[in-house]
Structure formats: C-alpha cells, structure tokens
Copies of this chain bind each other. A is one copy, B any other.
Amino acid sequence: MAYTYAAPLEDMRFVIEQVLEAPRSWQACPSFSEVDPDTAGAVLEEAARFASEVLQPTNAPGDLEGCTLDALGNVRTPSGYRAAYRAFVDGGWPALPCDPAWGGQGLPLVLDAAMREMLSACNHAWNMYPDLLHGAYETIKAHGSDELKSRYLAKVASGEWLAAMALTEPGAGSDLGALRTKAEPQADGSVAVSGQKIFISGADHDLTDNVVHLVLARLPDAVPGTKGLSLVLVPKVLPDGTRNAWVVEGLEKKMGIKGSATCAVRYEGATGWLVGEPHRGLAAMFLMMNSARLHVGLQGLGHQEMATQNALRYAVEREQFRTPIAQLPAMRHLLLRAQALTEGQRVIAYRAALAIDEAHHHADADRRALAGSLAALLTPVVKAFCTHHGFHGAAAAQQVFGGYGYVHDYGIEQTVRDARIAMVYEGTNEIQAIDLLQRKVLADGGRAFAALLEECEAEAARPADGDPALADFSTALREQIAAARHTTAAVAAAAQADAEAPLRAADDYLFAMAHLLLAWAYAASARAAKALPASPFTEAKLQRMEYGLRHVLPQATVHWQRACTCARPLPAPRAS
C-alpha cells in the first residue's frame, strides 16, 4: 500500500474559518482586507496539489539517496529535489506571506502555516531548504541596511536565492554565549568572517545559484557572552560573481531528513556585511528563530497528519481475524487518539499564526501589542508540543502497520526518523519550556498569560444551548483554567524562595499548558461543529473532540501536579 498524502483541506478550512474565525480578523487587518475564504481556499487547494503531486513522490527516494559532497566540495541534493524546487518557485510559493513591496503575495501567515504543514508532511527534508527563507527574509527586512535589502531581499523573498542560519559551533549549542567565530572589520565596510560552524542546514546545495548565510560572530571589541554577538550576512557568491571564502567540510550522517544537507562549514576570512547594529546580533537572530520555531512546530503537525492518515488508510484496508484492523478496539483507541491530538494541535498552531498576523497587521495598536505577546507565549508551546507528538504520534501510528511499519517501503518508518530532529533543533524542547515559563509567563508580569486565560474563559462561557455534550467541554476547559492559575501561582511562589524551582517545573508546565490549549481547542471545535449543518465531517469531528476530552485531557493532571512539586530539590544523577 502506497504512502500518500491527501491534504486535510476540509479540516484546515474548518479550523481557519469556523474555529478561529480568521476571516473576521482579516477584515480588521488593512493588508488582508481583500482576502476572503474563497481566495484562501483556492490557495490551499493549489498548495495541496503541489505538496501531494509534485513533492511527496520525491520523499522516499530522497531518503535512500541522501545528499552527497562532490569532489569540488559542492553539495548535491537527491534526484528530483531541484525540479520540485523549480516548480515551487515558479508557483510563487516562497513569497506567499512576504510584503508585496518586495515581490511577495502579502497573504496571511495562517495560510502560509497550512502550506508549511503540507510541505513538511510530504517531504520534511526538502522543506528544510525553503523553510529557512522566511526567517531570513524577516531578519534582513527588519535589520538590514538599504544596500543589503536592495541586493538580497527580493531574491530571497522569491526563492531565487535560499538562506541558511549559521549558529551552532562544536562547543556551543544551546549556549550561544560560547560562540567563537570572528568577524574582522575591513576598510570597505565589510567584515571578514573566520571560524567553524556545524549542523548548518542547507549551507550549500544545488537548488539555487546563491545561498545567503546569516552567521553569528564576534567583532574584535565584543564582550564575552551573548551580548558580544553580531549578525553577519555571508553569501556563497559575492556581488562580483566570485565564490566566497567558505567551504563545506562535511555532511552529517543522520537518523533522518537525509535529503537535507546538514553541513559543517569553515569560514576562511569570508566576506560579509553586518545585519543590524554591532553586538546586537542575537536580537536580530531571534526574529528569525521565532519564525523558525513556529515552522518547526508545523513540521511536527505535518508529521502527525501524514502518519495518522496513512495509518487509518492501512487499518481500513488491512484485514486480520477477517475484520479490517481499524475495527479492533486497540486500533480504534490508537487512531482516535492520533486524530484528536493532531486536530487539536492544528487549532493551536494556526492560532499562533493568526496572532502573528494580528501582531503585524491589525489596525488597532493595542491589539497588535497583545497579539504579539500572545504569539510569543504560544510559539514555544507549539514548537515543543507539536514536535513531541510529531515524533511520538508517528511512532504510535507505526504500530498500526505491524511488522510492515518497520520496513522502508511502507513509508511510516521514515516519518518517525525524520520527525525526531524537530524536538532538538531551533532550540531543544527543554529550552522552549524554560522560555515559556520564565520569559513568557513569569517575567512578562502575567499579561499574555492573563490574555490567554481570558480567551479560554470566554470560550468556556459561550452558551452550550443546553447541549450536555458541549457543557462537558466547558467544564473540562474550566478545570484546566483553574489548574493553570493554581500551578502558575505555586511555581511563582516557589521561584521567590529558589530561582531554580521554575527550571524544575518547566517541562511539565509546558505540557500542562498544551493540555489547557487542547481543552480550549476541543471546546471551540465542538461548538463550531455543532453550529454547522450536520454532515459526516461534523459528526466525525464531534466524535474525535469527545475522544480527546475523555482520553487525552486526563493526562494534564499528571503534568500540573508534577509542576507543583518544583519546590523540592532534585538530586544530581550519578553512575551507580
């Protein structure tokens, strides 16, 4: 049975139009006033066609073939990648959410999010190349000089040139303060970059003629730590057409995303130009990373959708004991759980994209600011929770295939291998948890947290019209809100006595918050489904949301409780 993709267009539109009511938001954003549901639906349909018909067929062969470094030091991507990328650029897809002033289509990020979910589902490794483009575009647009913008911005927006983020070094991963790469100012205003970077996705490839690196490096007068980092744009090909002085030293042999070139790069006095102020590189880079973190969360969502829909098709066709295995109670649990988790996370992830849209485009300044804080709060949850389930959900779906699930031909094992990296890169999930609790909840003075709970309370208070099923959703959501208030207060109190306490609570806190958001997503989705005329879609939607309510949400209790024990110190683990 072939591993194939049918974009969940009906659910995507349901989430965007009915649950999140994005079209109402578009009316309040001048840049989107001409976007309507029909346009949005047409965009998603075309994106789905590209993803399933052009991109997905390159996925399994690309995994077997992988990337190679040729004798001249150039990276070659797997067969078919280049043609798919050409089609992607020719379709105008890279520029979907970019500013029309720079050749973009100016469409809402929530549509871009749905497209990225599709691309990741169909070929995560390939998607690594264009996925970094948007962050680079935002960074250069916000911080680049006019000269850099005129030279690079339109070409990056269109996808004619691609970009890479060069952060990690052998001695510095999560700890960016330990980075050592140097940038020496030159007489002509450029800088000369020297140092070694590792794990650089797409540092080189054969998809575009030029690749634009954004490199974190230190100027000679830099202080130690993260406050001494500057951001430098270092292209592969210089404006005069010569090859810049950096080389790919090797490609990593990885568990998955084998079609994505993970490069070790040595900069040998390579020519670059500062992006933004000296020593303010981290702030500029974070703009890129926040966008990238939402994208990574969407990768996790794509993996879950791909794994779940294929597992369901397999379970319906495969018979054991003269019954389709989809009928077996264990498989019912597994598939309903996968659907409830995937669809709940779709609501949360698209909600984050909508918040980013409103933060940039809403007509009202207060609303922009609030949406910005909400986006900042949601992003680490989306990144960590969706990638956690991207991997674990795919591994659970793999179980449906029995022994076939372990064999390459059936596709699912590749999804599991590919999905694993997303829990690590763009900030490990543990880093996301600390970011959420310390920076977005405790240090924010509770503003975004309060706004989120208000939104959840509003949902819980919406009239259930005497429908007992909807009342159960409201009750469950209220329980999560109460647990969130109680636990956040407990952690804040523990933090007063011991600064390390939130660090001990962070992972459980993030997972608990994700369950609060699921409770909200289930309630909002059930209500929206009830509001539509009954159909097979709304009936199935209600069944899944109810499964989530009864079987997924109980897990929240464990996370809230454990987070509350954070005042207790933890021993250091030892070898026995």
Contacts and interface: CB of A to CB of B under 8 A. Distances in A.
A570 B329 contact: yes
A573 B407 CA distance: 25
Contact of A327 (B256, B330, B537, B572): B572
Contacts of A433: 330
* Interface core residue of A405, A429, A570 (most chain B CB under 10 Å): A570
A254 B558 contact: no
A433 B329 CA distance: 12
Interface stretch (A30-38, A420-428, A516-524): A420-428
Given A174-B320, A408-B254, A551-B562, A575 B403 contact: no
B555 A503 contact: no
Contacts of A429: 399
A92 interface: no
Contacts of A428: 399, 402
A464 to B, nearest CB: 21
A503 B558 CA distance: 25
Interface in A364-410: 391-392, 395, 398-399, 402-403, 405-409
Contacts of A10: 576
A550 interface: yes
B565 A504 contact: no
Interface string A501-522: 0011011000000000000000
A263 B158 CA distance: 49
A434 to B, nearest CB: 8
Interface string A471-509: 000000000000000000000000000001001101100
Interface stretch (A93-101, A278-286, A295-303, A333-341): A333-341
Interface in A560-576: 561-562, 565, 568, 570-576
Contact of A570 (B253, B336, B568): B336
A197 B143 CA distance: 63
A451 to B, nearest CB: 27
A403 B425 contact: yes
A313 to B, nearest CB: 7
Interface in A1-45: 8, 10-11
A475 to B, nearest CB: 16
A413 interface: yes
A253 B409 contact: yes
A430 interface: yes
A321 B175 contact: yes
Interface string A437-480: 00000000000000000000000000000000000000000000
Interface residues of A, number: 88
B557 A339 contact: no
Nearest to A504: B329
A336 B399 contact: no
A339 B573 contact: yes
B330 A507 contact: yes
Given A402-B424, A424-B402, A574-B540, A177 B321 contact: yes
A554 to B, nearest CB: 5
Interface in A333-367: 333, 335-336, 339
Given A252-B407, A406-B420, A562-B554, A537 B576 contact: yes
A87 interface: no
Nearest to A405: B424
A408 to B, nearest CB: 4
A404 to B, nearest CB: 8
A402 B392 CA distance: 17
A309 interface: yes
A249 B327 CA distance: 33
A238 interface: no
Contacts of A571: 332, 336, 543, 547
Q: Which of A10, A255, A500, A558 has the most CB of B within 10 A?
A: A255
A507 B570 contact: no
Given A320-B178, A429-B399, A562-B551, A504 B406 contact: no
Contact of A424 (B399, B425, B551): B399
A512 B479 CA distance: 24
B420 A395 contact: yes
**Which 6 A-B residue pairings sit nearest by Cβ, starting from the closest?**
A335-B573, A175-B320, A330-B430, A255-B413, A329-B503, A253-B408
5 contacts: A199-B403, A254-B407, A254-B408, A392-B392, A399-B423
